[in-house]
Amino acid sequence: MRLSIVGTGHVGLVTGACFSEMGNSVICVDIDKAKLSSFREGDIPFHEPGLEDLVKKNVEAGRLTFSGDLVSAVNGAEVVFIAVGTPSSESGRADLSCVLSVARSIGQTLRHPLVISLKSTVPVGTADEVREVIQLELEARGADIEYDVVSNPEFLREGSAVKDFMYPDRIVVGANSPRSERVMEELYDAFAKKQERIQFVGIRDAEMIKYAANAMLATKISFMNEIALICDEFDIDVENVRRGIGSDSRIGPSFIYPGCGYGGSCFPKDVRAMIHMAQQAGIADNIFEAVERRNDKQQQVMVDKVLMHFDGDINGRKFALWGLAFKPETDDIRGAPAIAIARELSQMGAEVIAFDPQAMGPAREALAGFPITFVDDPYDATEGADALLVTTEWRQFKQPDFRRLSKQLKSSTIFDGRNIYHPERCVDYGLTYVGIGRSSSLYSALHSERP
């Protein structure tokens, strides 16, 4: 099938690369000429495991090309995917200016029947707006051309986006015509051979499914973070609570890991969009506002624990920060708790030495103007530091050299913002451990008898 993907961000590029991998002919369209040139050479400006090799492979095979010519891309395709950004406006509503601009261009250039698929995360009713914009442009031209607008939300996790696309747990398509359903079913058939994964629903249903999914996951995280705060106050080990409730099949173990808050390009933006929609629906004091408040405050929890440990004064102290990306296996720092924590510590007069396996470049830009030092080795950060803060659960941080840390850290203290360490193990190596909701576990470690 001949496909065009408008927008070459994380979603658009993964979508284009994966469709081309299955044999489709794909054109990825963008207005950024420098970015297009980099893509043609196989240079990907963000970190996503497996994506660079996939792009190079399909560019060399001729199945994946990059262009700045939207007119040719639209009229050479059977399906056009709109995968441009939809950042939050001040009100919390998603900014649809780029989506509607693409729709307008499609209406001005369309010359043959086409399926237009919305990949961007958009509010309920956006497909109707896109259809109206295209129709107005066609009428202005005096053209009568058949087209369909469908909603096909993405469910890609940064760090495993290629795997998620190639082996999806569900493929949601919101469509209102048999023709568009047939086209989308043919396109996705190769991804759903072993099990029926394609769900055809109403267009507005599909738009809501995407927001509801992300809001639910964000809610689980904020819920567990609040449980962790209660655990700290009542001398309860939140890890035991997490395992206890996670073994309930109605709850499950995913997204109930307490920490220093969620981030990324999706959860914060989509929760704000849900707040906006709930307010439009007349729902006062909606749950999404509570989810957002807890996440905003959760980033402060780490700073509060540091202040408490150092008697409220960290001016002149030095802190090692392991992790800058909002999650492992990505270089995305949008909404990353580590960035907010680094800024606040430095504003309080502390020196911050930071390391991340992938996100150093973006972090340098985000923290420009702050007295943050970046190092190429995690143990260079901890050398002579008063304490270590772990804010991203990269694999290489999970089994560090505790002996070395106990010698390097002046106060021999680890603030574990992702609960990746066993408190008793840290204590065995002479380290002080401060986690999220783990005060009782630390107490047990300090007072248990050792052989």
Q: Which residues are catalytic?
A: 266
Strands of 2-6's sheet in order across: 64-67, 25-29, 2-6, 79-82, 114-118, 147-151, 171-174, 198-201
Nearest alpha carbon to residue 286 among 297, 296, 272: 272
Nearest alpha carbon to residue 169 among 159, 156, 158: 156
The Cα-based distances of 360 to 11, 326, 353, 374 in angstroms read 22, 12, 12, 7
* Dist CA 13 CA 193 (whole Å): 23
CA distance from start to end of the chain? 67
- Pairing label, strands 318-322, 198-201: unpaired
Contact by Cβ (8 Å): 436, 237: no
Residue with tokens 């106050």: 233
Q: Which residues contact 207 (CB under 8 A, 6 or more apart)?
A: 118, 122, 123, 124, 125, 126, 127, 151, 153, 174
* SS3 state at 86: coil
Q: Which residues contact 222 (CB under 8 A, 6 or more apart)?
A: 262, 290, 291, 292, 294, 295, 298
Contact by Cβ (8 Å): 321, 338: yes
